[in-house]
Amino acid sequence: MNMGKTAEEFLTDAEQKVFDQRHRQIINFNIGRYDTAVERGLSRLANLENSKRKGHVIKWRSMENLDKYLIEFEANFQKRGGKVIWANDVEEAQQEILKIMQRVGAKSAIKSKSMVTEEIHLNEFLEANNIESLESDLGEYIVQLLGQKPYHIITPAMHLSKEDIAKLFHEKFNTPPDSTPEFLVAKARELLREKYLQADVGFSGGNFLLADTGSICLTENEGNARLCTTFPKTHIAIVGIEKIIPSIADLDIYWPMLATHGTGQNLTVYNSILSGPRQPGETDGPEEMYVILLDNGRTNLLAQKEQRQGLYCIRCGACLNGCPIYRNVGGYTYNTTYSGPIGSIITPHMKGMEEFKHLSNASSLCGKCTEVCPVKIEIHKMLLLNRRDSVNEGLVTGMEKFGWNWWKRAMKKRKLMDFFGGKMKNFLLKKLFKKTWGHYREMPQVAEKSFSQQWKERHKEE
């Protein structure tokens, strides 16, 4: 995929989604409910700004000492019988997983919700190697049944209405076409429950890695992550290296902030701290537990002193829900694992500036993303820095350079701005932009005389 094609697809898909009335209605309804819940949740926090600052500083310390904390995590996790695998990229992670699956003779796997497993295309990879892989999170299960990817990093099926899901279950499982959400949840629970017992391997991500105890932390609302990490004999957690935090004591800030900004809850229903496989005398847990520490471009972002803030993200999804662009173009348009504002600032560094620089331009720079971020990442500033970097690296087309050069000249010289009259400007707008910008929109009408010309004429009369 090249730079031009990816950006072109974004523009085409964005235009289609922006004018899809049903899509807008569903997204605005679902995000509206989220906004109400989060506003209520945030009102319960005694000092929100102080909590944000504290979360930012802890993450700053974690990233500045990333090498130290990761080694500390590895040592503490191994003390309790866990095994750590370092993966530089998607292919390494996939091959390490396949080795484990083949060694234990696994034919089936069950997964809890994890964006990093989407990042390494785990389901497709396992299926290509004749291993059944099933999502257990209800939203992920629904999009898997549809053959789709998660639409949103917190709410995978946000783009679907309850009628859409009822229709899907009717087609797949012959449930009544007018089933209620409660009935559909009960049906999904019935279908999934036996799969936990049958699966050979359980997969999870990790919301946080604790350096001082050598643990992974999972926060969820459905209980499926606990089942995925407890019933199968082997548990594999794939976690991005940026998820490390220094201490278990830091969870008192991150768990409530993640829950409140993610769903509006004080705390999610299930919170687990896993520190290795089942110990002697324990009744629950896997016989083997692996943690795969994934880089996959994160160190590229770490090397950017001004932009490494992007690694502070705790994946709450608040910036997506607040972003006017995301709310209109939708999650799939971004064509990347992490969509919305946070995806726009990290993807060019993780997957290549040349191919994904256009995402940093898909913003109104209103600053809402920065305003809502629970760890105070200056997202709108990062978008501008990415734009700067793409220009400095020469990743702009000749036409773009030509256009901005003439715009700069015109803006600096009034004679050039007024050289073409209003009639000529309107003619050029209609000819140059009618099939692109003006395809669905009414073209702006430029006044026949500029403000400067009108000012001069008026003052002459006086």
Mean pLDDT, residues 95-121? 97
Domains of the chain: 45-296 (3.40.50.10420), 399-461 (no CATH)
Q: Which pLDDT band holds residue 440 (cuts at 50, 70, 90)?
A: confident
Say what the pLDDT of residue 399 is: 83
Q: Which pLDDT band holds residue 421 (cuts at 50, 70, 90)?
A: confident
Q: What is the pLDDT of residues 111-121, one digit of tens each?
A: 999 999 999 99
Q: Which pLDDT band holds residue 240 (cuts at 50, 70, 90)?
A: very high
pLDDT exceeds cutoff 80 at 169: yes
Say what the pLDDT of residue 406 is: 85
Distance CA 294, CA 288 (A): 19
| Nearest of 369, 398, 339 to residue 155 by alpha carbon | 339
Mean pLDDT, residues 83-88? 98
Mean pLDDT, residues 130-151? 96
Q: Which residue has the tokens 């800030």?
A: 253
Contact 343, 32 (CB under 8 A): no
- % of residues, the chain, pLDDT over 90: 81
pLDDT exceeds cutoff 70 at 257: yes
Q: Which of 113-122, 131-140, 339-348, 414-423 has the lowest mean pLDDT?
A: 414-423
Sequential DSSP letters for 319-376: HHHH-TTHHHH-SGGG-SSS-HHHHHHHHHHHH-HHHHGGGGGS-----HHHHH-TT-
Q: Which pLDDT band holds residue 462 (cuts at 50, 70, 90)?
A: low
Mean pLDDT, residues 432-438? 75
Mean pLDDT, residues 194-212? 96
Strands 215-220 and 208-210: antiparallel
Q: What is the pLDDT of residues 10-53, one digit of tens each?
A: 988 998 999 899 999 999 999 999 999 999 999 999 999 999 99
Say what the pLDDT of residue 1 is: 43
Say what the pLDDT of residue 437 is: 75
pLDDT exceeds cutoff 80 at 325: yes
pLDDT exceeds cutoff 80 at 436: no
Q: Which pLDDT band holds residue 3 (cuts at 50, 70, 90)?
A: low
Say what the pLDDT of residue 237 is: 98
Say what the pLDDT of residue 453 is: 85
Where is pLDDT greater, at 401 or 94?
Answer: 94
Could you tell me if residue 138 is left (phi over 0), alpha (psi between -120 and 50 degrees) or otherwise beta?
A: alpha
Q: Which pLDDT band holds residue 2 (cuts at 50, 70, 90)?
A: low
Distance CA 274, CA 227 (A): 13
Distance CA 356, CA 123 (A): 24
